[in-house]
Amino acid sequence: MKKSLVAAGVVGASLIAAARFVPRPGPVGNRSVPEPLKPVDLDRYMGRWYEQFRYEASFEKGFEAVTADYSLNGDGTVRVVNRGRKGVIAGKQKKSVGRAKLVDRSMNAKLKVSFFGPFYGDYWVLDRGDDYDWSIVGEPSGRYLWALTRAPVPHPDLLAMLETRVRDLGYDWSLVRITRQPEA
């Protein structure tokens, strides 16, 4: 009896672990998000980005005034500092510091990022402006999406273009949450 309980526990734990790593269809449907379209010059990608919209995720639920600051570390990794305000633009600021490493050096568009020790998630720069004034970020499952700009409140034409581009990439606009940013 004791051996069968231990075996059942091991099998159950294995199934749970396997379920966590099996790709599941995300909001993009039964296919993966597209591959990154352009190479990324990491030096030009560094700096402050303002989140304009996203798919809501538990770790960012209800956040406004979200920014991401990227800087190169001496070892070739990227320091990631995400900030956001809970509930309202003037809410209490939360900060998360992480580290990203390149996965595909041929385009520099696929990274793995970690905010929790040895656990890394995909961060793919799917598309970006030629002048690095905007970026669309996702990952292979299609469950996460971020649209970033260099300006906290960009021109409406840029926001409309980002919406069109995200739809063209296959994302479900009905799942998008607009991020409020303070006026510049």
Higher pLDDT, 162 or 16: 162
pTM over 0.85: no
Q: Which candidate, 118, 122, 150, 120, places its Cα nearest to that of 134?
A: 150
pLDDT of 93 strictly over 80 = yes
Confidence class of residue 183 from pLDDT cuts 50, 70 and 90?
Answer: confident
Mean pLDDT across the stretch 17-41?
A: 57
Alpha carbon 45 to its chain centroid, in Å, reads: 14
Q: What domains lie within the chain, and their CATH numbers?
A: 36-178 (2.40.128.20)
Higher pLDDT, 42 or 10: 42
